[in-house]
Amino acid sequence: MKKYLQIICGLILCCTMLLTGCGQSGGQSSDTAANSKAEAKGQLTISMLDIDQGDAVLIQTGAKNILIDTGDDKYYEDGKKGKENTQLLIELQKLKIDHIDTLVMTHAHADHIGKADKVIAQYGVKELVYNGIPSTSRYFINALKAAKANGTQQVKVKAGDVLDFGNGVSFEIVSPSQSLIDEDTAAIKAKKKVDVNNESVVGRLTFGNFAMLFTGDAEGPVEKDMVASYGKKLKCQVLKAGHHGSKTSSTAEFLKLVQPESVVMSLGVNNQYGHPHEALLNRLQKQGIKNIYRTDVNGTITIVSDGSSYSITTEK
């Protein structure tokens, strides 16, 4: 009898372990549950595209094409104001991109997601990644409509989630936190104002020994939270300066912890915001960062890594 009880207990334990192993994190697709220690394979290419004032970064892993933000749908500077901004499509055509596997929308501002619906429709996006916070932005609403019409899977992420970009490239979400998502969602439902910049999806990309931090438009308060939550884990070789080189982002404390060797930023020529701000450039100088690249000066910026080393080249 004792022997039979041991066998039954063993079977129950095995079943419990199997059921536990089959659990999936909420909001993550089967394609995005990642093993961050996967072996680096081939070559990683990251292109910060010259799309005027806004953000659009193409990541090519050899297994997937990932686009982080799309830039704006319109021009806003003198001479072109109100005209359709086609620069993203031109840049993707130059790079012979015929499909996008994953589109990450960092936050619901036009200069980041203005062309999201068009990208989803034209490039057959399989996954749409965003923070899950609702928005009344027509660009945000149009993106979700396009995703539904295209059969694109919607993946809502929060700090702690890890996305698998293929060939050993992983993307760990470090912001927004679940508490920030909950707070802003409740505020929006109550028709209260929120700081959309600080809702930005921030991710640390790793490929072998190479790491790059993508910050969206996250500003000082969120940087402080990330420093408190992640500490030295934020360290990377390349940093995308937050908020297009605004003085409200890339704080001294944040830069000191991240310790980037190179900083890249996306902004329009003679933009109305005065980006990059002098205060930010001074902070970079004080931190001893000499490798600074800007789309308004350098055009499209290309970062290539084999997982051990990396190089940066520019269009201009």
State which CATH number among 3.90.226.10, 3.60.15.10, 3.20.20.70, 3.90.1150.10 fits the domain covering 48-314.
3.60.15.10
Alpha-carbon dihedral angle through residues 165, 168, 169, 170, given to the nearest 10 degrees: 80
pLDDT (tens place) for every residue of the chain, 316 residues total: 433 434 444 444 333 433 333 333 334 433 443 444 578 899 999 999 999 899 999 999 999 999 999 999 998 776 788 899 999 999 999 999 999 999 999 999 999 999 999 999 999 999 999 999 999 999 999 999 999 999 999 999 999 999 999 999 999 999 999 999 999 999 999 999 999 999 999 999 999 999 999 999 999 999 999 999 999 999 999 999 999 999 999 999 999 999 999 999 999 998 889 999 999 999 999 999 999 999 999 999 999 999 999 999 999 9
Domain ranges of the chain: 48-314
| Paired strand residues for 203 | 173, 214
Which helix (H) or strand (E) segment holds residue 87: the answer is: helix 87-94
User: What 8-state DSSP symbol labels residue 56?
Assistant: -
> Which of 100-111 are b and which e, b meaning 16 or more Cβ less than 10 Å from the residue's Cβ?
bbbbbbbbbbbb
pTM (2 d.p.): 0.88
